[in-house]
Structures are given as C-alpha cells and as structure tokens.
Amino acid sequence: MPGDFDNAEGFWGTYNSSTNLTGTVNGDDNGVISGSERYKAWHHLSLAEVYSGGFSSGTTSGLVVGVNAPEAAYASAVYCIVTGTINGDAENRVRFGVASDGGNNVGIVSALAASKMDKKLDDGDPSKGIVRVNASTYNNDNAKPNGTVCTNGHYTESDLSFVYASTGAVCVMDFEI
C-alpha cells in the first residue's frame, strides 16, 4: 500500500536531503496509512509511475501542496490520504478539501454539491458507504452557525442528512480507497 510500503527504500533508494532527493522512506506495513505515511503515499505512487508528479518523502511534518500532496484543479483544493476508524474498522480514504494547518479539513463544496456527488458515486448518505463527509463540517449541538455546516450531525452517527441551507463551501469529502 503506498505510504505504508515497508520495502520502498529497496525499490527506490533511501531519501537523503543531501545525497538522494529522489529516494523515499519506508512505511511500517501495518495496513493503515497513518501519520507521516500519508505524505509518503503520493511519493510512492509517483515513483511507481501510477500517479504523475514529483512528490517528496522529505517533508513529513505537514501537508505541503505540490510537494507531498497533489493540488486539485477545483477551487484551490488538495487531495490528502487520511486514516479513520469507522465502526471499529480502520480505513484509508482520500480527502478532498482546502489545505489547512491540520491537513485539508476546510470545506470545498456546498452541501448540495456534496449530496449530488454522494448520490452519484455511492448511497447518498453522508455517514455511510465509500463517500462520506468529513467530521469537521458537521453541526454538533448547534455549535456552528447556521449556513456553515454540511450535515446535521457527526459522520459516525446514523440518520444523517445534508444541510441544504448551507450554500457556501462547507463540505470536506472523504472517498474510501
């Protein structure tokens, strides 16, 4: 699995900021893309010639668009690989959102657009299936002002619905891989 691959250095050499900028760093092969592995994943995909782009394994302390994560063509969005636990199962997901200090947890599409993507690609339920909205864009006990949330609850709850009154870019999308 890219990022988690424990023999990446055997294939492409060991990354060194002075002597081997094109090398990479091994993952831990635990089946989950976690921690700095999410930044290595795009580099592994690029080295394997599965994804074009010259990403680096050298920057592992945070998301750097164009360096360790690809920029999307949509409204300054970025793709980031994240890991989460849903119903006790660890899963890897590609997150689609605006780059921020903590990754890409800033909304990118409206609730209506998110709903349409979810219905077209999956089941239309923001809390289930292979397409989900990210937890940072929900309304928990009305903690966020109206018009700034994607769903009416946390993505691990059942019976979620999109909040169509929110017309701005409030939804971060997760796609299971």
| 52 against 135, higher pLDDT | 52
In the numeric block, the tokens 């939804």 are attached to 171
Q: Band the pLDDT of 167: cuts 50, 70, 90.
A: confident
* pTM of this structure: 0.78
- Of 75, 118, 83, the closest CA to residue 99 belongs to 75
- β-pair type (103-106, 89-100): antiparallel
Tell me 53's DSSP state.
S
- Of 152, 107, 155, the closest CA to residue 127 belongs to 155
Q: How confident is the model at residue 6, as a pLDDT?
A: 94
- β-pair type (173-176, 131-133): antiparallel
Which tens digits make up the pLDDT trace of 92-110?
888 888 776 556 667 788 8
Q: Which residues contact 172 (CB under 8 A, 6 or more apart)?
A: 95, 96, 97, 104, 105, 106, 107, 108, 133, 134, 136, 137, 150
Percent of the chain with pLDDT over 90: 12
- Per-residue pLDDT averaged across 48-64, rounded? 76
Q: Band the pLDDT of 142: cuts 50, 70, 90.
A: very low
